[in-house]
Amino acid sequence: MSVSADVAARSLAGQVVAVTGGSRGIGRAIAIDLARQGAFVGINFRQNETEAMAALTQVRAAGGDGKLFQADVSRPEQIEAWFKDLYKETGHIDVLINNAGITRDAPLLTMTAKDWHAVLDTNLNSAFYCSKAIVRRMCSAKRGLIVMIGSGSAFSPRVSQVNYSTSKSALIGFTRSLARELAPHGVRVNTVAPGFTATEMSASLSQSVVTESLAKIPLNRWGQPEEIAAFVSYLASPDAYYLTGQTLVVDGGRYAFEQQY
C-alpha cells in the first residue's frame, strides 16, 4: 500500500481504518472524511454492492484509498474473515468504527422477538464481535482507537424503539467499561452519539415526526452526516489522544435542552 506525498502530510497518513456499515449514511461520511485525512479505509457493507462501490469511489476522490468487504457484522465468523483479509492487505488496523445499525420500530406489545434480536445483533453484538476480533493486535501495538456510533435515542428515546434505544444505551456502557480495560494498553474507546441526522435511515420518518423533532432541537435543524464524521475524525486525530471512555452527544443541543425540564 503506497501513500503519495500529499497524503503523507495529513494526520492519518499510513493509518488503516475499518468502518462497519460504511457504504451509506453516517458510515459513508466517516469513511470519506477519514480518507481525506490520508487513511486507508476498509469499507464494510452487507448487501448493496452498488452503494459500496459509490462509497469507495468517493473515498478515492477524497484523496485516500480503501477496499470493500462484504460481511454481515452480526455473524462473528464473517467479521473474522473480513479482518483477516484487511490485515493481509494492510498489515495493521489502527481505528475501528462500529457504525452498523438498523431499526425495526414497533410498540413492545407487537414487537416480535425476531425484530428485537435483529436490532441487538446488528447494533450492539456486532460491536462486541468486531472489538473482540481486533483488540488483541491493538493492545500488542500499544495503540488504537475504537469508536462506537451511538444515538441520541440512548438519552431521548422515541416511542416504539425499545430495541433500538436499548442497543444504543448499551453501547455507552460497553464504551466506558472497555475504555477502562484497554487504557493501560494505549487503546482508546469512545462513542459519538448523533441526534436526528439526514440519512437514508431517517428519510422514511413522517413529516409529523420531523416537525416534532425540530421543536426540541435548539439549533432548529437536523445534523448532516458530514458533521458527525468530523467528530469521528477529531477522535482519530492526535488532538484527542487524551480522550477515552467518553460519549460525545452531537444533536444540536436537544439532550442538553431536555435536561432543563
| Catalytic residue IDs | 164
> CB count, 10 Å around CB of 28?
28
45 pairs with which residues across the strands?
A: 70
In whole angstroms, what is the distance from residue 103 CA to residue 209 CA? 15
Of 20, 21, 3, 43, the closest CA to residue 146 belongs to: 20
Using alpha carbons only, what angle is made at residue 191 by residues 186 and 221, rounded to the nearest 5 degrees?
145
Residues 31, 55: contact at Cβ < 8 Å?
yes
Q: Tell me if 8 sits within 8 A of 38, measured CB to CB.
A: yes
Question: Edge to edge, what strands does the sheet with 247-250 contain?
Answer: 65-70, 40-45, 16-19, 95-98, 144-149, 187-194, 247-250
Torsion on CA atoms 66, 72, 122, 188, rounded to nearest 10: -40
CA 194 to CA 31: how far, in whole Å? 16
Grid cell of 27 as nine digits: 458510515
CB atoms within 10 A of CB 199: 19
